[in-house]
Chains A and B, each alone.
Chain A
Amino acid sequence: DIQMTQSPSTLSASVGDRLNISCRASQSIGDWLAWYQQKAGKAPNLLIYKASILHSGVSSRFSGSGSGTEFTLTISSLQPDDFAIYYCQHYNNEWTFGQGTKVEIK
């Protein structure tokens, strides 16, 4: 089974900061990776798919990069609405989520 490991688990940041969240796969997964944002008490929302494709309607301050085993979600300038938990997800015959990264107010 493919394992997905996110780092850090918690990230303290301020409005306007540039953030990078890492997701590492235990073996190569090509670009079969998505990123989701989840706010408290709500269902997750898709941000990025195929590692770097911005989902329709998602702010351009979000971007994704990487392939193989190393992936990054970048938020270019953190906004108040961005404080949430972020999950990466591998999909391609296996479906596995990372454990999540909580972005909290510094």
Chain B
Amino acid sequence: QVLLVQSAAEVKKPGASVKVSCKTSGYTFTTYGISWVRQAPGQGLEWMGWISPFNGNTKYAEKLQDRVTMTSDASTSTVYLEVRRLTSDDTAVYYCARGLAEFDPWGQGTLVTVSS
């Protein structure tokens, strides 16, 4: 069974950084990319980018590329998302999902709240 398990909710102050983890299991880690999608409260889905654990290649959404870094650790089958210089607009549930095309399955989501 393929599972993606994300880290717990975070509360951050404006200007801080957050790092969310996504631990995968049930498949060969390097054979699938991982994408990140976020969802602000009551809003739709926003694609943030993806990483290929096979070679470390990344692609970020243009509006986020100067504040986001995605990394992977094959020894623990875990992918990480770091978002820097947080503002209240970054308050959202952050999801990881397996795949670089269609996304399946998804992690359970990590709520990141940015508040002073």
- Residues of A with Cβ closer than 8 Å to B? 32, 34, 36, 38, 43-46, 49-50, 55, 87, 89, 91-92, 95-100
Please determine whether A87 and B102 come into contact, CB atoms closer than 8 angstroms. Answer: no
A-B contacts, CB under 8 A, total: 54
Please determine whether B108 and A95 come into contact, CB atoms closer than 8 angstroms. Answer: no
Separation of A93 and B35 alpha carbons in the complex (Å): 13
Confirm or deny: B45 has a beta carbon within 8 angstroms of a beta carbon on chain A. yes
Please determine whether B95 and A43 come into contact, CB atoms closer than 8 angstroms. Answer: yes
Please determine whether A97 and B45 come into contact, CB atoms closer than 8 angstroms. Answer: yes
Please determine whether B107 and A43 come into contact, CB atoms closer than 8 angstroms. Answer: yes
Closest A residue to B49 by CB, please name it: A95
Q: Can you list 25 contacts pairing A with B, beta carbon distance less than 8 Å?
A: A32-B101, A34-B101, A36-B45, A36-B103, A43-B105, A43-B107, A44-B95, A46-B102, A46-B104, A46-B105, A49-B101, A50-B102, A87-B44, A87-B45, A89-B102, A89-B103, A91-B100, A91-B102, A95-B35, A95-B61, A97-B44, A97-B47, A98-B44, A99-B44, A100-B45
Residue of A44, A45, A50 with highest tally of chain B CB at under 10 A: A44
Closest B residue to A48 by CB, please name it: B102
Size class of B's contact patch?
Answer: 20 to 34
Mostly, the B contact residues are loop
Please determine whether A43 and B101 come into contact, CB atoms closer than 8 angstroms. Answer: no
Please, which residues of chain B bring their CB within 8 A of the CB of A95? 35, 47, 50, 61
With A49-B101, A91-B101 as known contacts, state yes or no: A100 contacts B44, CB within 8 Å.
yes
Closest A residue to B61 by CB, please name it: A95
Please determine whether A43 and B108 come into contact, CB atoms closer than 8 angstroms. Answer: yes
With A95-B35, A97-B46, A100-B44 as known contacts, state yes or no: A49 contacts B106, CB within 8 Å.
no
Please determine whether A46 and B44 come into contact, CB atoms closer than 8 angstroms. Answer: no
Separation of A98 and B44 alpha carbons in the complex (Å): 8
